[in-house]
Amino acid sequence: MRIEFDLNLDPAEIAEIGQIIGTAPASVPTALAGYGKSALQEYLAMMRGQKALKRGTDILEYRLFLLVENVFAGNIPDEQTVSKIFQTTATESRGLLRSIISKYQYLLRDAIDQTLKLVLEGATAESANGPYLVTMNSVNVIEELNKKLASIDGTLASISKKRGSVSTYEITKSSYEQLCTVLAATPAVYVP
């Protein structure tokens, strides 16, 4: 079913929304389509009794779940992105992400694995023998990578924060290679 409607927003509002969602003002209408679809799916699930949520946190979790599907192209967003959209603190956003990863773990399995794969493919190697570095603003994604490592082989080294950095993490070569194999990620190549 195709649904169309008009919104009356002035240029300042469009610019503000564009800044929040990270797009140019001219692209705001296209970018908002995914948000609108998510909102309508939320209302339809409520009306049909599929998601008669009572607690505010349950509503926010379901809303974020829908945004992962419709706005973030099946990837788990980082805490900063969630904070911008939901007007929450980094701690609240981290908790919200942790909740949807847990509560919707089976429905989000592909999104979680796709996000982990993208993180691994974005890594850089410090030397031919590692470690591999990833810069990541999501503690939850790092936790998911460590869970994946534990499920592969409990003797593998966990991913840890690089000393002196805010959001750079180190992955040993053996752990990195195992993760790439399991997630079918294309490993980063060391370039001297």
Q: What is the pLDDT of residues 37-57, one digit of tens each?
A: 999 998 888 888 887 777 888
Whole-number Å distance between alpha carbons of 177 and 183 = 10
Consecutive 10-residue runs of the chain (192 residues): their mean pLDDT? 86 92 92 92 86 84 94 91 93 94 92 92 86 89 92 90 89 92 89 74
Whether 184 and 148 have beta carbons less than 8 Å apart is answered as: no
| Residue type, position 77, single letter | P
Whether 71 and 41 have beta carbons less than 8 Å apart is answered as: no
Provide the token pair at 81. 């992105």
The average confidence (pLDDT) of the chain is 90
Map out the domains of the chain as residue ranges: 11-107, 112-183
DSSP alpha helices (H): ranges in 125-170?
139-152
CATH number belonging to the domain at 112-183, selected among 3.10.28, 3.30.519, 3.30.70, 3.30.2010: 3.10.28
Distance (Å) of CA 104 to CA 84, 138, 189: 22, 18, 34
